[in-house]
Amino acid sequence: MANTIDIVVPDLGDFENVEIIEVLVSPGDSVEREDGLITLETDKASFDVPAPDSGVIESLTVAVGDAVSTGDVIGKLGVQASDTDVDTPATTPPATDDTTATAASAGEKTTSGGRQTLVVPDLGDFEDVEVIEVLISEGDVVEVEDPLVTLETDKASMDVPAVVAGTIESVLVEVGDKISAGASLAIVDVIVDAVGEEQPAAMPQATETKAPPAAESASQAPARPQPAAPPNDLPAIQESGFAKAHASPSVRKLARELGVNLVQVKGSGAKSRILHDDVKAFVKSILTGQSPSPAGGGLPKTPTVDFAKYGEVDVQPLTRIQKISGPRLQASWINLPHVTQHDLADITEMENRRQVLKGPAKERGIGLTPLAFVMKACVAALEEFPRVNSSLSEDGSSLVFKKYCHLGFAADTDQGLMVPVIRDADKKDIYEIAKELGELSALAREGKLKAVNLQGATFTISSLGGIGGTAFTPIVNAPEVAILGVSRSSMQPVWTGSKFEPRLMLPLSFSYDHRVIDGAQAVRFTTFLGQQLADVDSLLQAIP
């Protein structure tokens, strides 16, 4: 006999009157312990109310939009008495026809092998329910209770489980089909031993479930033609492994909407069940760069073109440096939310003083370039704004503030872009920075830089001033959080309050990781940097 128990809302913590956003079952449905029954949503999270035991849903007293609290009764569940468990296996009649034996209900099992047709169980009041996902394909091996297809009504989505274990010979439905109770889903070659092992645990539910009238006729109907095999480039969520994930229908629906392969998500619920929050956390980790993007990040591919069809071409391989830097720049651009702040710095006095000093500096073997002044000003700005000199931790939960200042600078070479590093720039005066800048630039052009010369930068400067340009958007050199772009200076009329004066203005392009630096901090940084470039005496001050 079956006993009837109340389905009670478990402890919801501090939440009361939580809204029901989805009802996952209907009266007559067979459920296993921990299967989701309804989905609740607060202002912080959504979660399922699980079945307290295995059995058949006798009634539900709630609907979508209702509000429930801890201890509320939401329905009745019929569970089997323990004395039934021992006798039931012996009462199961074996199937006698290998070619037309049908598992006619959601809980029915058979101990015979051969080919069987898996059909849709009783759907209650629903008819012509849409198939939104086919979780199996020809050749797949399924176990008892493995999902076969996912159906969706206007109120809920539900999985149709396998009632026997075996190998799928053919699939009889496609995504978009409308099916009702008793419709044929697939033909399976039953594995006898697996069925025999699983049958005793599941049979108590079968004794309370009657086969729908349409099931018998469905088994006699000719099988539909097998659909064409899916193309090889289908997304990962279409793979049969998706069906193996331990998740409720509402979680599967969320995963489909977000394009998440549940096989890649680690569940935090009971028995490693995947919850809504697990799917959302997985997506968040991808978007914030805390974990690698699966299968190329889901980005569309650019078209492949045979350029030789339109004329003569010359194919030249990328240099070794281009092969290394290209993927790193792409990874930074994809994973970091880039924003660029453009500004102008008045360097009139700085350039006048540099012209006076560069002659004596050249006699000492030092090329006193404008970049040396910019780097010295950046040291002061990084000390004033230490967040710009930091890095985001790998898990994205904290910032790593560096108590050293190593400045990288982009060097244009025949082999491609290189970024040598001036270490401890905060401990060097402008002449020491200028000297090391010249030495590293020469080594870069000659291809003689060592690994130590290219590592450890905390901030990078990319100067195009010697070539031209008015502004650009440099890509952050991750794991740094910002980069400064410098374009060519030009004489511009600047209003002083009473008249226009010709001033030498230097364009600054400050790109930053918006997860670490916001717009207000960025403009304060460039403003302070401009002030430092205008204060020549401060830049020329010797290191104590």
For residue 32, which amino acid is it?
E
Q: Would you say 461 and 371 are in contact if contact means Cβ atoms under 8 Å apart?
A: yes
Whether the pLDDT of residue 436 is over 90: the answer is yes
pLDDT score, position 543: 67
pLDDT score, position 180: 85
CATH 3.30.559.10 in the chain: give the residue spans: 326-540
Q: Looking at residues 303-328, what average pLDDT do you find?
A: 89
pLDDT score, position 291: 61
Whether the pLDDT of residue 240 is over 60: the answer is no
Chosen CATH of 326-540 out of 3.30.300.130, 3.30.559.10, 3.40.50.920, 3.30.479.30: 3.30.559.10
For residue 221, which amino acid is it?
A
pLDDT score, position 357: 95
User: Where do we find the tokens 């690994």?
Assistant: 451
User: Where do we find the tokens 């799928």?
Assistant: 168
**Residue 341 β-bridge partners:** 510
The values of phi and psi at residue 518, to 5°, are: -100, 175
pLDDT score, position 84: 40
Q: Would you say 275 and 251 are in contact if contact means Cβ atoms under 8 Å apart?
A: yes
Q: Range with the lowest mean pLDDT among 111-120, 262-271, 279-288? A: 111-120
Residues 176, 152: Cα–Cα separation, whole Å: 10
Tokens describing residue 57:
């849903």
Residues 512, 502: Cα–Cα separation, whole Å: 31
pLDDT score, position 85: 43
Judged by phi (left if over 0) then psi (alpha if -120 to 50, else beta), residue 381 lies in alpha
Whether the pLDDT of residue 216 is over 60: the answer is no
**What percentage of the chain has pLDDT greater than the value 90?**
39
Residues 69, 42: Cα–Cα separation, whole Å: 11
Select the more confidently predicted residue: 207 or 401.
401
CB atoms within 10 A of CB 372: 25
Q: Would you say 89 and 207 are in contact if contact means Cβ atoms under 8 Å apart?
A: no
User: Where do we find the tokens 């600047």?
Assistant: 494
Tell me the per-residue pLDDT of 478-532, one tens digit each, with 9 for 90 and over.
999 999 999 999 999 999 899 999 999 999 999 999 999 999 999 999 999 999 9
Whether the pLDDT of residue 208 is over 50: the answer is no
pLDDT mean across residues, the chain: 80
CB atoms within 10 A of CB 218: 21
Whether the pLDDT of residue 101 is over 90: the answer is no
Class of domain 2-80: mainly beta
Q: Would you say 461 and 486 are in contact if contact means Cβ atoms under 8 Å apart?
A: yes
206 three-state secondary structure: helix
Whether the pLDDT of residue 110 is over 60: the answer is no
Whether the pLDDT of residue 322 is over 50: the answer is yes
Q: How many residues does the chain have?
A: 544
Domain 93-224 listed as CATH 3.90.650.10 = no
Whether the pLDDT of residue 91 is over 60: the answer is no
Whether the pLDDT of residue 52 is over 50: the answer is yes
pLDDT category of residue 430 using cuts at 50, 70 and 90: very high
Query: Which class for 308: exposed (0-12), middle (13-18), buried (19 or more C-beta within 10 A)?
Result: exposed
Residues 229, 540: Cα–Cα separation, whole Å: 73
Whether the pLDDT of residue 353 is over 90: the answer is yes
Which of 191-195, 218-222, 242-246 is predicted most confidently? 242-246
Task: Report which of 296, 271, 267, 269 is spatially closest to residue 282, judged by C-alpha positions.
Answer: 267
pLDDT score, position 82: 52
CATH 2.40.50.100 in the chain: give the residue spans: 2-80, 93-224
Q: Which residues contact 533 (CB under 8 A, 6 or more apart)?
A: 345, 346, 347, 350, 373, 374, 377, 506, 539
pLDDT category of residue 269 using cuts at 50, 70 and 90: confident
Interior angle at CA 24, CA 23 and CA 25, nearest 5: 100
Q: Would you say 482 and 385 are in contact if contact means Cβ atoms under 8 Å apart?
A: no
> Does residue 479 have a cis bond before it (omega within 30 degrees)?
yes
Select the more confidently predicted residue: 496 or 292.
496
Which of 121-130, 158-167, 186-195 is predicted most confidently? 158-167
Select the more confidently predicted residue: 13 or 357.
357
Judged by phi (left if over 0) then psi (alpha if -120 to 50, else beta), residue 510 lies in beta
pLDDT score, position 156: 62
Strands 141-142 and 157-161: unpaired
pLDDT score, position 288: 65
Whether the pLDDT of residue 224 is over 60: the answer is no
pLDDT score, position 133: 83
Select the more confidently predicted residue: 184 or 408.
408
Residues 198, 246: Cα–Cα separation, whole Å: 18
Tokens describing residue 395:
């898990």
The values of phi and psi at residue 484, to 5°, are: -110, 125
pLDDT category of residue 433 using cuts at 50, 70 and 90: very high
406 among known catalytic residues = no
